[in-house]
């Protein structure tokens, strides 16, 4: 079941199963395999315990039945009422009914000049922006345009001005105009933020060989319709492409910071229920000898819910003592065969509700080396017997992700998360079957 969430409520719609195949293969007696077409790019393989009931339902931001341009679709941009533009400012577009959120609309055309108070004679190719069509007949009648203002003094990019576009629609292959007048957004909310970068940096030494501390963590204050904020899978895209109220800048990956964050939320003015949350993505680069470059992520999402103080410190550390067939996974391993056994210990910090084990393979194509996702296993246990046919003879790396998602058993509902949410990765060294 798909639960399409807008400002106006939740609409249930049966999931289109034509792109999903479910099997109980003989070679994996403990697992049920779900193959899902990921657009036109690839097929994702998901393995869930066969003893669990299967629930592939998910919650999406925006109505069901969204469509995207198939032809060049030019949208003119005419926006006035800006605060005098400074380098670092950007424009955001949010259409809640269709689940549209564009951060950095101005990246699609020539940037406004410093000091400008309007944007005119600019054009966006809606197809190139990979944005859905806007159909008033389907309820897409409110599209917000907002200015994110950059402040060196505060170290933030903050939503300071907003307005609703006038009669905005987008039809496939037809020209239209995004026209809005922006007004000030009251900065009537604030909280104290304590960033424990040193504690996040300490996780790098625990997240696998070759993992380094992040240089620039991503901390944002985001807003979503309440129903989809509480149950979602936005962690799968690292909380990108969501309506943003504040991006906190200038945080370092290894130092403590204490500051006050003022902000405003224009999306609540229509009386709809929106949830404000702080999202953290701490992306640790990793160089895995004999394999390539990867990223181990620590992600957290915490509702603000009127809180005046937010301590951002890790609530979940990586798994420990990872072994493959009884050998430590911190050194390259060869000759393990195509059905190895992985074991690990629970994190030292936090209590996970489950684990995800994702297999990545390195494939050489011509002169280039590409890293592909092979499969993901969902389990509550701390042991995985890799079934036959998942691995071939290509080098692989296993990413073991500890997940904390209260009220959601991801071994039953792999496409649902909850708030508060946390996950932490552990990358093994290269493994050659």
Token pair, residue 171, equals: 């039809």
Instruction: Identify the pLDDT of residue 374.
Output: 94
CA distance 414 to 355: 11
3-state secondary structure of 96: helix
Q: Where are the domains of the chain?
A: 2-61, 74-185, 190-432
The per-residue pLDDT for range 246-287, each reduced to its tens digit, is 999 988 888 899 999 999 999 876 556 899 999 999 999 999
8 A C-beta contact, residue 355 and residue 427: no
Instruction: Report the pLDDT averaged over residues 193-201.
Output: 95
User: Number of helices and strands (H, E) in the chain?
Assistant: 2, 33
Considering only the top CATH level, what class is 190-432? Answer: mainly beta
The CA–CA distances, whole Å, from 15 to 21, 23, 70, 346 equal 12, 17, 23, 34
> pLDDT tier at 16 (50, 70, 90 boundaries)?
low
- Give the percent of the chain with pLDDT over 90: 74
Under the banding of pLDDT at 50, 70 and 90, the label for residue 172 is: very high
Of 168, 179, 174, give the one whose Cα is nearest residue 136.
168
String of b and e for 229-254 (b: at least 16 CB within 10 Å)? bbbbbbbeeebeebbbbbbbbebbbe
User: What's the pTM value of the predicted model, to 2 decimals?
Assistant: 0.93
């Amino acid at each position: 079941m798909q639960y399409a969430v807008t400002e106006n409520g939740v609409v249930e719609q049966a999931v289109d199963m034509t792109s999903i195949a479910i099997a109980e293969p003989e070679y994996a007696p403990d697992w049920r395999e779900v193959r899902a077409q990921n657009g036109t790019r690839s097929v994702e393989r998901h393995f869930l315990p066969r003893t669990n009931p299967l629930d592939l339902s998910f919650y999406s931001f925006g109505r069901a039945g969204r469509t995207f341009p198939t032809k060049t679709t030019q949208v003119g941009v005419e926006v006035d009422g800006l605060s005098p533009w400074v380098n670092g400012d950007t424009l955001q577009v949010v259409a809640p009914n269709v689940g549209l959120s564009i951060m950095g609309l101005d990246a699609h055309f020539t940037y406004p000049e410093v000091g400008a108070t309007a944007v005119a004679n600019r054009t966006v190719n809606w197809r190139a922006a990979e944005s859905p069509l806007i159909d008033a007949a389907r309820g897409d009648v409110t599209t917000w345009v907002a200015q994110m203002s950059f402040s060196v003094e505060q170290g933030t990019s903050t939503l300071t001005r907003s307005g609703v576009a006038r009669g905005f629609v987008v039809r496939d292959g037809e020209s239209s105009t995004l026209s809005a007048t922006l007004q000030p957004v009251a900065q009537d909310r604030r909280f104290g933020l304590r960033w424990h970068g040193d504690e996040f940096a300490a996780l790098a030494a625990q997240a696998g060989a070759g993992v380094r501390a992040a240089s620039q963590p991503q901390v944002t204050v985001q807003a979503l319709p309440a129903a989809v904020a509480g149950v979602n899978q936005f962690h799968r895209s690292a909380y990108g492409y969501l309506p943003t109220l504040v991006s906190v800048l200038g945080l370092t990956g290894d130092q403590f910071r204490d500051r006050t964050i003022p902000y405003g939320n224009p999306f609540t003015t229509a009386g709809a229920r929106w949830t404000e949350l702080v999202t953290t993505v701490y992306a640790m680069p990793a160089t895995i000898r004999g394999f390539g470059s990867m990223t181990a992520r620590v992600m957290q999402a915490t509702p603000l819910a009127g809180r005046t103080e937010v301590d951002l410190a890790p609530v979940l550390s990586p798994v420990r003592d990872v072994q493959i067939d009884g050998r430590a996974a911190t050194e390259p391993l060869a000759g393990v065969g195509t059905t190895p056994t992985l074991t690990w210990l629970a994190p030292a910090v936090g209590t996970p509700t489950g684990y995800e084990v994702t297999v990545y393979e390195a494939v050489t194509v011509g002169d280039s080396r590409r890293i592909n996702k092979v499969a993901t296993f969902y389990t509550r246990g701390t042991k995985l017997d890799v079934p036959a046919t998942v691995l071939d003879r290509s080098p692989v790396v296993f990413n073991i992700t500890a997940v904390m998602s209260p009220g959601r058993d991801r071994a039953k509902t792999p496409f649902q998360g909850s708030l508060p949410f946390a996950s932490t990765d552990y990358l093994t060294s290269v493994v050659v079957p």
